[in-house]
Amino acid sequence: MGVRSIGSKHRLRGAVILALLVAVVVITGTMLVPSAGARAGLAASTPRCPASSLSFVFVLETGASGKRFDTLALRNRGRTCHLWGYPGVAMLNSRGGLLRLNVNRRSRSEEPSRQVVLAPGHRAYFLLIFEDGGFCPGHSASAYGLQTYPPGSTRSLRLHRPRFEVCTSQIPAVGPVRATAP
């Protein structure tokens, strides 16, 4: 009987320890993963990111069948802030002037806008889609960089790139800022 009571004590102690561990994980998990309401409150309490605290960076180029998909980002160099909506985008000629080529927003049904909260050093990503100039001879222009207006800003940022060809008979499109790369 003494052996059984020792075994019972160990089982009880093990059950208590397991219950405490589960409680710690549950409590810690809810403290580390804020609720949707808390995340919304954080976004509402952060200021909009001013262009002066952002840098414009190229992330990745992909493509297929003449379409180019450039993943671009706005990196926060300041305090925690937020972005929401679509950046304005223009392509630059060899002298840094704007190419006469409109860039439209992708439709909201394709890609709805969401608020992105950026901690210092973090990025908000967006996609620029255009037809490669090599697929429309006689209707292309050489671009040497991009200019963007972050959402809600009247100050532009520039990104110089090696020359690329863009089809002028097809209208490029830009997506809204996102928290993750497309």
Q: Is residue 181 part of a domain?
A: no
19 and 93 share a domain? no
CATH number, domain containing residue 141: 2.60.40
Q: Is residue 44 part of a domain?
A: no
**How many C-beta neighbours within 10 Å does residue 123 have?**
21
User: Count of domains in the chain?
Assistant: 2
Question: What pLDDT is attached to residue 28?
Answer: 32
The DSSP annotation for 5-25 comes to: HHHHHHHHHHHHHHHHHHHHH
Q: Is the pLDDT of residue 171 over 90?
A: yes
Location of structure tokens 């704007």? 98
13 and 76 share a domain? no
Q: Is residue 107 part of a domain?
A: yes
Q: Which domain holds residue 103?
A: 51-174
18 and 84 share a domain? no
Q: Is residue 39 part of a domain?
A: no
Q: Is residue 62 part of a domain?
A: yes
Read off the pLDDT of residues 108-131 as tens digits, 9 standing for 90 and up: 667 789 999 999 999 999 999 999
Read off the pLDDT of residues 125-158 as tens digits, 9 standing for 90 and up: 999 999 999 888 788 999 999 999 999 999 999 9
Read off the pLDDT of residues 47-94 as tens digits, 9 standing for 90 and up: 999 999 999 999 999 998 899 999 999 999 999 999 999 999 999 999
